[in-house]
A and B are shown apart, each in its own frame.
Chain A
């Protein structure tokens, strides 16, 4: 079994968000992490590796710096990492991104493609399903459980107050929720191996069956009119005490905790 996992390096919101003058994210200036939904997708793939001996290939599109996220994935147990990076691919929206990733994945053998539901920097949830459309394979989104049944997958799809159980023939694409599982830690030895391993780097020329008009900023129908950081305010806390005495003791406790009194 061959599993391809798409991961994205996203800003670590703990470190603050920075913008370029044109409103796009200044990715070079921010601390980064592996997108949480993607990490859960990777963990799901690694469990398929543990159980069925699946070969796990991780693909990311981004700046050369995005290589770090592939090393992290390999330190967790992925077998191969492929970085898709090229100046002409920059500024891509979800359409251009999914076109690019599909172009890369066409070079690979796969039974299952797993992507995260959505990335915490864009929150669109579009790239996974779009890749499936480009590749003309079934997609099951919002997976909270994945099982293999012969040549098919059986997936629980989260849905508001219930879940759906869907079965799809492989090859197919699944989008994972961060609630799917608790991703494993990297291992120290895995980190050493990941840094000794080769990362495959692909550019525009390596993408299969894609048209330049669908790539990069020029191939992106979405235009960002304006982006801004949220104005930070104290979150505040609402409490409804049962009595005035309780209210007073609550406030006094809070003030003590904050060393005001």
Chain B
């Protein structure tokens, strides 16, 4: 077991750090305040190859491993949770399922544009009545000649209106399973601009305010028959497997938020003086920081381990990284919430003021315990595995 990063990973990390500090950090507060999608930053990330990190070179990607991708989301999220989730949703939830389940034609058609960042991706599973209960899907897809006709809506979709390519999960029929009638669920690729595909309201969120979160509406939306992703009826498995990968991305976002809040707080407590000395000299501050740093390090180990496990899966698809991803997300999200909350506390009144980054980081952290599977869902995944 080796906990040392390779030279190439070290250099990639320094690249992501430099980019985050130079291009992302100066805009983080404004993006949050104005609820503005950072389009310019996305274009710069596209140019630097950040939107196709784990995609093979033959499809126009960077040909790197999951750990490199995780470090990218982590470093971006250290300074801006919004930018981190844009990359994560695009890569894990749209690019990855096309790479994993797409036909050669679909890969050739979609991956080069997505991996180069000419197009941005999104993923639509959640519906008003179907969150954790993915079987509660209402969106339907009916085959009519050479086209699928989609009707229904998806909500809370990250990269919502800004994306160009969407993975959409829909009900395609009914199947008998163990004597019960279940919904048959399939996955589709839908292009922006397809007639019948429109956007509903933009969500006004607590955190990750620059991220574009929209409702997707499908009204007799006709897509080519060939846009079925994977086999008909395998949509639930595709969605669940996609979320396994997505959880590693969100775990990396949560880790970055926690690390960012910790770094900011370390600098602050050295500067802030009370009772004639810096508050870093008080034992309460020291112990709080020790706990925060220890938890961040533990989360980092789990997140990196999940990324390594996903790399193993890529060599041998029989290996599952589902539990590692769930543990990484559960731990990192809860650490992010705890560390950012403590960071605000250590900042005192200033921590509650929007000018100070930790205020935003605490709001951004909360969603990591909710989206792409709540912490409770992660506990279900983990316990189901250890009790089987």
Do residues A188 and B15 form an inter-chain contact, with CB atoms below 8 A?
yes
Do residues B7 and A195 form an inter-chain contact, with CB atoms below 8 A?
yes
A194 to B64, CA, bound (A): 12
Do residues A185 and B18 form an inter-chain contact, with CB atoms below 8 A?
yes
Residues of chain B from 4 to 24 with CB closer than 8 A to chain A in the complex:
6-8, 11-12, 15, 18-19
Q: Which residue of A lies closest to B50 (CB)?
A: A188
- CB A176 to nearest CB in B, in angstroms, measures 21
Contacts of A185 in B (CB 8 A): 15, 18-19, 47-48
Contacts known (A185-B48, A188-B72); A259 close to B63, Cβ less than 8 A: no
**Highest count of chain A CB atoms <10 Å: which of B7, B18, B47, B61:** B7
Q: Which residue of B lies closest to A258 (CB)?
A: B271
Do residues B272 and A186 form an inter-chain contact, with CB atoms below 8 A?
no
Q: Interface extent on B, as a size class?
A: 20 to 34
Do residues A189 and B49 form an inter-chain contact, with CB atoms below 8 A?
yes
Do residues B272 and A188 form an inter-chain contact, with CB atoms below 8 A?
no
Contacts known (A195-B7, A195-B8); A188 close to B271, Cβ less than 8 A: no
Residues of chain B from 48 to 76 with CB closer than 8 A to chain A in the complex:
48-50, 53, 57, 61-64, 68, 72
> Counting CB contacts under 8 A, is A75 at the interface?
yes
Contacts of B8 in A (CB 8 A): 191-192, 194-195
Do residues A187 and B49 form an inter-chain contact, with CB atoms below 8 A?
yes
- CB A77 to nearest CB in B, in angstroms, measures 11
A187 to B18, CA, bound (A): 12
Q: Interface extent on A, as a size class?
A: 10 to 19
Contacts of A195 in B (CB 8 A): 6-8, 11
Residues of chain A from 183 to 212 with CB closer than 8 A to chain B in the complex:
184-192, 194-195
Residues of chain A from 161 to 190 with CB closer than 8 A to chain B in the complex:
184-190
A154 to B131, CA, bound (A): 63
Contacts known (A187-B49, A259-B272); A75 close to B11, Cβ less than 8 A: yes
Do residues B7 and A189 form an inter-chain contact, with CB atoms below 8 A?
no
Partner of A189, one of B6, B11, B63: B63
Q: Which residue of A lies closest to B23 (CB)?
A: A185
**Highest count of chain B CB atoms <10 Å: which of A68, A75, A187, A260:** A187
Contacts of A80 in B (CB 8 A): none
Contacts of B48 in A (CB 8 A): 184-187
- CB A261 to nearest CB in B, in angstroms, measures 10
> Counting CB contacts under 8 A, is A37 at the interface?
no
A258 to B270, CA, bound (A): 11
Do residues B273 and A188 form an inter-chain contact, with CB atoms below 8 A?
no
A137 to B374, CA, bound (A): 67
A186 to B10, CA, bound (A): 13
- CB B220 to nearest CB in A, in angstroms, measures 41
Contacts of B11 in A (CB 8 A): 68, 71-72, 75, 186, 191, 194-195
Contacts of A187 in B (CB 8 A): 48-49, 62
Do residues A188 and B7 form an inter-chain contact, with CB atoms below 8 A?
no
Partner of B57, one of A71, A72, A189, A258: A189
Partner of A190, one of B18, B19, B49, B61: B49
Do residues A192 and B63 form an inter-chain contact, with CB atoms below 8 A?
yes
Do residues A188 and B18 form an inter-chain contact, with CB atoms below 8 A?
no
A185 to B48, CA, bound (A): 6
A4 to B217, CA, bound (A): 56
**Highest count of chain B CB atoms <10 Å: which of A184, A194, A259:** A259
Contacts known (A72-B11, A188-B62, A191-B12); A260 close to B273, Cβ less than 8 A: yes
Contacts of A186 in B (CB 8 A): 11, 15, 48
Q: In the complex, given contacts A187-B48, A195-B11, A259-B271, what are 11 additional A-B residue pairs having Cβ atoms less than 8 angstroms apart? A: A72-B11, A185-B47, A188-B49, A188-B64, A189-B62, A189-B64, A191-B8, A191-B11, A192-B8, A192-B62, A259-B272
Residues of chain A whose beta carbon lies under 8 Å from any beta carbon of chain B: 68, 71-72, 75, 184-192, 194-195, 258-260
Which 3 interchain pairs have the tightest Cβ spacing? A189-B62, A187-B49, A195-B8
Could you list 10 examples of A-B contacts with CB < 8 Å?
Answer: A75-B11, A75-B15, A186-B11, A187-B62, A188-B68, A189-B62, A192-B8, A192-B64, A195-B6, A195-B8
Residues of chain B whose beta carbon lies under 8 Å from any beta carbon of chain A: 6-8, 11-12, 15, 18-19, 47-50, 53, 57, 61-64, 68, 72, 271-273
